[in-house]
């Protein structure tokens, strides 16, 4: 409760004036965090480039050196491209998160961070990398293979460190646990450039259920279709770089803006409840 | 025909021991009544979709639902029924609905205001109330159902 007591109590989305205030605050916070994220990534890039310049293991004229550099830069640019696209697409706003927390509290639910286990993931990755590095260095008799191993592992380390940190600390992914094994995942988006949309539609909240059933099951597919139609749920969720977009499993998706968040959240929860009841009957 | 219950009663649709036989004039009456009812529903759609207040339609739905179970409905009851946390969120809606004669408000005290649908000026609200009471689940009911479900291990 204490955590929520400092939430702007006067925030009222029904008033046009306060609407603008609310969206302006969120926009500023998004921009501020976007700037922080880019600085963080640029710092990491800088460090890595410095390391590359200092630790060149070959003669600069050799073909192996050139090949090594091509592989490295290709992977590196690919990584940057993915991360910059991802960072530009998703931004974080404490005010919006607090607002959603309060809305969910009214409904009796609690919002949790999706990547709360980031530290254990990071430690596990670090240990596995150290283990792999030792194998790579110790057991290869060829210096070139060892060197390449180290470079690939460095990229792996770089990815392993940045991905959990950026996604866990800075990204807008939250879950609301309902009843084991069911939960709803929230993905927040803010569009900074206003085009045709009205201001309230510039903040988007995408809701996705947990993995429900395999798509190959006819009975599951039929129940999912019936519930989706009854509850007017959209067929597809937002595109993410995760297994959610592979299309092998059934999920419920819902979409809302801050104004109608509570109603739409209850709608997806009710859909999951209907699903649970139907599946129990089926079994 | 502005009542779903009257329609059921007129043609004995809820009496399953009787066969429904409609011939000549009866069939025409049945069709006309059904069409009149659909006409009324369409007018209700028209009214609700043109309410210029964010929560105006929701307030009407909530009032229609609460009138089935409560004798006296306060603004707080409506607020709770819609899962809202502050009464200020409904100020505009109540003002608008009152101004357009959709609802009646009796001020018992400065804080306790009794609210109900204005069925005298809007006869279509009878059918609206019947449909809402029979088929609509209010956000509060939806919330309670979901909480009950998620609390059961």
Which tens digit of pLDDT belongs to each residue from A173-196?
Answer: 788 999 888 999 988 877 766 665
In a domain, B143, yes or no: no
Provide the residue range defining the domain that includes B8: 4-137
| Among B54, B83, B142, beta carbon nearest to A270 | B142
**CATH number, position B34:** 1.10.10.10
| ipTM entry | 0.82
- Within an 8 Å CB–CB cutoff, is residue A98 touching chain B? no
Residue of chain A whose alpha carbon sits nearest to that of B85: A106
Mutate which: B145, B150, B151, B152, vs A, most A CBs within 10 A: B150
* pLDDT for residue A72: 65
CA-nearest residue to B143 within chain A is A107
Residue of A nearest to B91 (CA): A14
CB contact under 8 A, B143 and A259: no
- Number of domains, chain B: 1
B120 belongs to a structural domain: yes
pLDDT, tens digit, 9 for 90 and up, residues B14-49: 888 888 888 889 999 999 999 999 999 999 999 999
Is residue B147 in some structural domain? no
Question: pLDDT tens, A51-91?
Answer: 666 655 555 566 766 666 676 666 666 666 666 665 555 55
The structure tokens listed for B149 are: 């479900």
A266 and B153 within 8 Å at the Cβ level: the answer is no
Residues of B in contact with A17 (CB under 8 A): none
Asked if A246 reaches chain B (Cβ–Cβ under 8 Å), the answer is no
Please state whether the predicted TM-score (pTM) of the whole model is above 0.80. no
Residues of B within an 8 Å Cβ radius of A: 54-55, 83-86, 88-89, 91-92, 139, 142-143, 145-147, 149-153
Residue B109 lies in a domain: yes
**Closest-CA residue in chain A for B93?**
A14
């Amino acid at each position: 409760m204490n955590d929520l007591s400092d939430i702007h109590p006067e925030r009222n989305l029904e008033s046009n004036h306060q609407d603008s205030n609310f969206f302006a605050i969120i926009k500023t916070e998004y921009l501020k965090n976007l700037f922080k994220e880019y600085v963080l990534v640029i710092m990491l890039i800088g460090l890595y480039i410095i390391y590359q310049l200092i630790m060149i293991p070959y003669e600069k004229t050799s073909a192996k050196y050139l090949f090594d550099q091509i592989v490295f830069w290709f992977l590196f640019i690919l990584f940057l491209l993915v991360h910059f696209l991802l960072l530009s697409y998703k931004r974080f706003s404490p005010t919006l998160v607090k607002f959603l927390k309060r809305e969910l509290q009214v409904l009796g639910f609690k919002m949790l961070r999706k990547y709360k286990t980031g530290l254990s993931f990071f430690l596990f990755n670090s240990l596995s990398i150290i283990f792999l590095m030792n194998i790579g260095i110790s057991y290869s008799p060829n210096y070139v293979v060892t060197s390449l191993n180290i470079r690939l592992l460095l990229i792996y380390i770089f990815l392993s460190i940045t991905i959990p940190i950026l996604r866990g600390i800075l990204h807008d992914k939250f879950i609301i646990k309902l009843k084991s094994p069911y939960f709803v995942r929230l993905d927040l988006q803010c569009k900074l450039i206003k085009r045709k949309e009205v201001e309230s539609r510039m903040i988007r909240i995408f809701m996705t259920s947990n993995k429900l059933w395999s798509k190959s099951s006819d009975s599951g597919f039929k129940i999912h279709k019936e519930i989706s139609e009854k509850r007017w749920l959209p067929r597809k969720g937002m595109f993410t770089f995760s297994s959610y977009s592979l299309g092998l499993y059934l999920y419920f998706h819902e979409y809302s803006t801050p104004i109608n968040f509570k109603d739409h959240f209850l709608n997806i929860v009710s859909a999951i409840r209907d699903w649970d009841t139907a599946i129990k009957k089926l079994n | 025909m502005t009542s779903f219950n009257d329609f059921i009663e007129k043609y004995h649709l809820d009496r399953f021991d009787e066969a429904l036989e409609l011939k000549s004039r009866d069939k025409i009456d049945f069709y006309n009544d059904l069409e009149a009812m659909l006409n009324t529903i369409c007018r209700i759609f028209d009214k609700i979709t043109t309410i210029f207040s964010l929560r105006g339609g929701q307030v009407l739905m909530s009032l229609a639902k609460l009138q089935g179970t409560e004798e006296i409905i306060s603004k707080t009851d409506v607020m709770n029924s819609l899962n809202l946390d502050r009464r200020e969120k409904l100020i505009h809606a109540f003002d608008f609905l009152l101004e357009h004669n959709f609802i009646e408000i009796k001020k018992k005290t400065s804080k306790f205001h009794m609210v109900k649908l204005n069925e005298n000026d809007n006869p279509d609200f009878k059918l609206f109330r019947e449909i809402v009471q029979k088929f609509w689940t209010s956000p509060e009911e939806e919330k309670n159902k979901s909480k009950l479900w998620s609390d059961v291990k």
